[in-house]
A = this chain, B = another copy of it.
Amino acid sequence: MPQKVRIALDAMGGDIGASVVIPGAVISLNRHPDTEFLLYGDRTLIEAQLAAHPAMKAVSRVVHTDVAVAMHDKPSQALRRGRKTSSMWLAIDAVKKGEADVAVSAGNTGALMAMARFNLRTLPGIDRPAIAGVWPTMRGDSVVLDLGATIGGDAHHLMALAIMGSAMARVLFGLERPTVGLLNIGVEEIKGGEEIREAAELLRAMDLPQLEFIGFVEGDGIGKGAADVIVSEGFSGNIALKAAEGTARQFAQYLRGAMSRTLLSRIGYLFARGAFKALRDKMDPRKSNGGVFLGLNGIVVKSHGGTDAEGFAYAVDVGYEMVRYDLLTKINQTLNRHGHTTLASASAVQEALS
């Protein structure tokens, strides 16, 4: 058995806090017994939860703090009030100090990203971080990034996203050379802004061994599973994610409405309730919980703030897998191939192309 995976949890994060975080971690621990936890937050609340879960208690260390970042705190407020003291900061700081391999928080995204960036700093060659998530598609899961960390960006930024996203797909899906597509408003070469067309040229010209660039993918290509990794700057990536979530909710509401409309449809529902359960499982947003912050010197996973223990467990699972299958090593290998960074050699290719 290799070393245990050490996970730092912001026990105060999310709409509920410890009573979701601890039971969620317990579920994940059952799936991955080679885990141990550092729990940051109010000791009384945390220990009340641990009392009900002795197996979890046995692999956890509690670090008390009174300070918690609120869900509505602006990033600047959170940094001012919660730096060095809040449960969120301390969880990230455990990664910085090498006491934990990954931090997981259901706290507010802006604050978490600000603290992670401030404390962990970006990787050499990476200017701006990204958030990557798993998107269920018609042919399995895809990694989609950036889901909203960074607005805009040039061809190099998109190239960095492609490299980091493909490393994550190698970790999560066990693929040797994941396919990568650039999100665009058409698949023809002339479509999209200059930075996207440049990024496409670069990815094609460099032909990296760690990823297979397949060209542009439109918004409806994500759900089709057109590529293992879909790359976009953070504004459009976030809009795509939220628009898809909104449509899924809309569809679910219509379906509920339709099935309860008449006596016949209610009878039909009873017969088919196994099918509806399978459908609910397939569409369950909790299974895609866990946004991974990429581009930092350390791994931080963001859980939805409103999720339950089952959902939080999926975010902890994501953190576990990123560590167990060496996300950071895989990213750095691609960035630093042959002793100079891939992105620097991308500049040379770009000059040669122009």
In the complex, are the beta carbons of A254 and B235 less than 8 A apart?
A: no
What B residues does A250 contact at CB under 8 A?
137-138, 223-224
Q: How many copies does the complex hold?
A: 2
- Interface of A, secondary structure class, is helix
In the complex, are the beta carbons of B193 and A151 less than 8 A apart?
A: yes
Selected from B152, B183, B272, the residue in CB contact (under 8 A) with A239 is B183
Q: Does A265 contact B (CB under 8 A)?
A: yes
In the complex, are the beta carbons of B193 and A235 less than 8 A apart?
A: yes
Selected from B183, B190, B240, B276, the residue in CB contact (under 8 A) with A258 is B276
What B residues does A253 contact at CB under 8 A?
138
Q: Does A14 contact B (CB under 8 A)?
A: no
In the complex, are the beta carbons of A268 and B258 less than 8 A apart?
A: no
Selected from B232, B242, B267, B273, the residue in CB contact (under 8 A) with A219 is B242
Number of contact residues on A: which range applies? 35 or more
What B residues does A262 contact at CB under 8 A?
274-275
Q: Give the distance in Å from the alpha carbon of A251 to the alpha carbon of B244 in the complex.
A: 11
What B residues does A241 contact at CB under 8 A?
219, 243
| Closest CB in chain B relative to A192 CB, distance in Å | 7
Q: Does A247 contact B (CB under 8 A)?
A: yes
What B residues does A274 contact at CB under 8 A?
261-262, 264-265
| Closest CB in chain B relative to A154 CB, distance in Å | 14
Q: Assuming A247-B251, A254-B283, A265-B272, what are 13 further A-B pairs, CB within 8 angstroms?
A: A74-B188, A221-B246, A223-B247, A223-B249, A223-B250, A239-B243, A241-B243, A247-B248, A251-B251, A251-B283, A258-B276, A262-B274, A268-B275
Q: Give the distance in Å from the alpha carbon of A261 to the alpha carbon of B274 in the complex.
A: 9
Selected from B235, B248, B265, the residue in CB contact (under 8 A) with A251 is B248
Selected from B151, B236, B268, B282, the residue in CB contact (under 8 A) with A192 is B151
In the complex, are the beta carbons of A152 and B193 less than 8 A apart?
A: yes
Q: Does A353 contact B (CB under 8 A)?
A: no
Q: Give the distance in Å from the alpha carbon of A278 to the alpha carbon of B232 in the complex.
A: 36
In the complex, are the beta carbons of B271 and A265 less than 8 A apart?
A: yes
Interface set, chain A 29-61, CB cutoff 8 A to B: none
Q: Mark A286-297, 1 if CB is under 8 A from B, else 0.
A: 000000000000
